[in-house]
Amino acid sequence: MNLLDLDARWRRLNDPDYVCPCCGRSFGGLIDIGFGAPDDWPFAEPEAGDVVAEGEDKLSSELCRLGARRFLRAHLAFPVRGAEDAVHLAPWAEVAPEDFYEALDRIEAGESAERSIPATLANILPAPVPGLFTGNLILGAPDTRPRFAPDPGSVLAEAASGGLSFDALLDLYAGLGEDLRPHLTGQA
């Protein structure tokens, strides 16, 4: 048993049989969150599996070209303190054009040896980890999303290594437009 099991909100979040009395929502565990596009993307986001093309600019589920800029979809995990679980985000990261094309070549060649390339998150994260962050994308197997490793010493690096408290996780969800707190009270 972990300490979070004593928190009724945590139990409700992880109980697949719990139904929110005010709206009928149920969760069955942590909610992973993806970002549909880099924050600077000015056009519509694609439907699942589609590509949006506006002139030379293109956005798919994993790749983006916006003018001279290039973006890859990344993976960022935050362990939840007191639990054996983590929440996973899929933000966008801006990379140099030459690194973008190298990543595509690696995928096509089936390259799986890890390689680190400089990157900047292209989505602003809310509290408790507010801001845009620099770091590295760790490219690995072609069938896995690159992992974003924030620069050491940043609040993001601390959260990614040390984890988030459950309340900080709920703050993060709320800042991303998914405020679960009212749905975990057990009251209508």
Confidence at residue 66, expressed as pLDDT on a 0 to 100 scale? 98
41-59, pLDDT tens digit by residue? 999 999 888 999 999 999 9
In a domain, 106, yes or no: yes
Report the 3 state secondary structure along the chain: CCHHHHCHHHHHHHCCCCCCCCCCCCCCCCCCEECCCCCCCCCCCCCCCCCEEECCEEECCCEEEECCEEEEECEEEEEECCCCCEEEEECEEEECHHHHHHHHHHHHHCCCCCEEEEEEECCCECCCCCECCEEEEEECCCCCCCEEEECCCCHHHHHHHHCECHHHHHHHHHHCCCCCHHHHCCCC
In a domain, 8, yes or no: no
In a domain, 141, yes or no: yes
**What's the total number of domains in the chain?**
1
**Residue ranges making up the domain that contains 51:** 32-176
In a domain, 67, yes or no: yes
99-108, pLDDT tens digit by residue? 999 999 999 9
Q: Give yes or no for residue 188 having a pLDDT over 80.
A: no
